[in-house]
């Protein structure tokens, strides 16, 4: 009997500490989440910007390579044209003409590819500039939010550390199995209250009526009793002074 009472009291202590920690988290609001989102967004932008820069470098390299190949194709054409001067018959002449046409076609193709590489470079440069603008904007917004968050954290940092220290100590006295149940309920309920008391005949978590017999059982603290509606642990019954 004594043990259950102790267990319930330890749970109530834990819940009280967690409520204060929840208040601190609530004060920081959506800011920590926003900062995280912005950081992710910035990383994504930087990756895209980096990829675009890489593609630009590749395109420029491609142009250089194609220019070199055009030079050697032109040299080849020149060589064929010289050979054409000293052919012995029409068949040889035609064969060389075919070769020349083929090389010229290759040159045209390479020039076309160079042109489209330049077009692509123009597009990529515009994209890169846009990324740069986005990145600078995001960095500014992120810096502002980080500063605001730091200020908020600074206000409650000491308090938070103290509460976390208390929480560590209290948790040692809470039954391991019960702690798991507590954490699970806390995750599932909107107000994060896993342990409640009966007030004005009602569950302090969901405000549904608790039958008198159950209230009596709760008061006795012989076993862990949960609310049949919301599943929260009911640790005690508080009788407020008569008002009417
Ligand atoms: Zn309830």
CA 189–ligand 1 middle distance (angstroms): 10
Residue-number span of the structural domain to which 180 is assigned: 175-238
Q: Could you read off the pLDDT of 1-42 as tens digits, one per residue?
A: 468 999 999 999 999 999 999 999 998 999 999 999 999 999
CA 229–ligand 1 middle distance (angstroms): 5
Ligand 1 ion: residues within 5 Å (CB): 203, 205-206, 227, 229-230
The 225-226 sheet, strands edge to edge: 202-203, 195-199, 233-238, 225-226
pLDDT value at position 127? 96
* d(C-alpha 213, C-alpha 195), whole Å: 19
Closest Cα to residue 167, out of 149, 182, 155, 187? 182
Do residue 181 and residue 191 come from a single domain?
yes
Q: Could you read off the pLDDT of 166-186 as tens digits, one per residue?
A: 999 999 989 899 999 999 999
| Whether residue 243 has pLDDT greater than 60 | no
Split into its structural domains, the chain has a count of 2
CA 238–ligand 1 middle distance (angstroms): 15
CA 167–ligand 1 middle distance (angstroms): 25
- CATH code, domain with 150: 1.10.287.1490
CA 26–ligand 1 middle distance (angstroms): 23
CA distances from 124 to 56, 133, 136, 155 (A): 7, 14, 18, 46
pTM tops 0.85, yes or no: no
pLDDT value at position 1? 47
- 198, 213 contact by CB (below 8 A): no
Q: Is residue 214 part of a domain?
A: yes
Q: Could you read off the pLDDT of 182-240 as tens digits, one per residue?
A: 999 999 998 999 999 999 999 999 999 999 999 999 999 999 999 999 999 999 999 87
């Amino acid at each position: 009997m004594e043990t259950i009472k102790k267990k319930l009291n330890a749970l109530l202590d834990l819940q009280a500490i967690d409520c204060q920690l929840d208040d601190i988290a609530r004060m920081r609001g959506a800011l920590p989440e926003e900062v995280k989102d912005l950081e992710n967004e910035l990383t994504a932008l930087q990756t895209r910007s980096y990829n675009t820069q890489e593609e630009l470098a590749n395109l420029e390299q491609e142009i250089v390579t194609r220019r070199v190949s055009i030079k050697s194709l032109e040299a080849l054409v020149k060589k064929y044209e010289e050979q054409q001067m000293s052919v012995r018959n029409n068949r040889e002449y035609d064969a060389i003409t075919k070769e020349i046409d083929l090389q010229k076609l290759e040159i045209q193709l390479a020039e076309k590819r160079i042109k489209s590489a330049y077009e692509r470079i123009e597009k990529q440069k515009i994209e890169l500039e846009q990324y740069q603008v986005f990145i600078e904007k995001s960095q500014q917004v992120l810096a502002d939010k980080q500063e605001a968050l730091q200020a908020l954290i600074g206000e409650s940092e000491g308090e938070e550390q103290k509460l976390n220290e208390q929480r560590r100590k209290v948790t040692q006295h809470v039954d391991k199995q019960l702690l798991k149940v507590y954490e699970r309920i806390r995750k599932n309920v909107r107000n994060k209250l896993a342990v409640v008391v009966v007030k004005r005949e009602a569950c302090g978590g969901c405000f549904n009526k608790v039958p008198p017999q159950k209230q009596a059982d709760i008061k006795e603290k012989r076993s862990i009793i949960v609310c049949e509606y919301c599943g929260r642990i009911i640790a005690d019954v508080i009788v407020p002074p008569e008002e009417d």
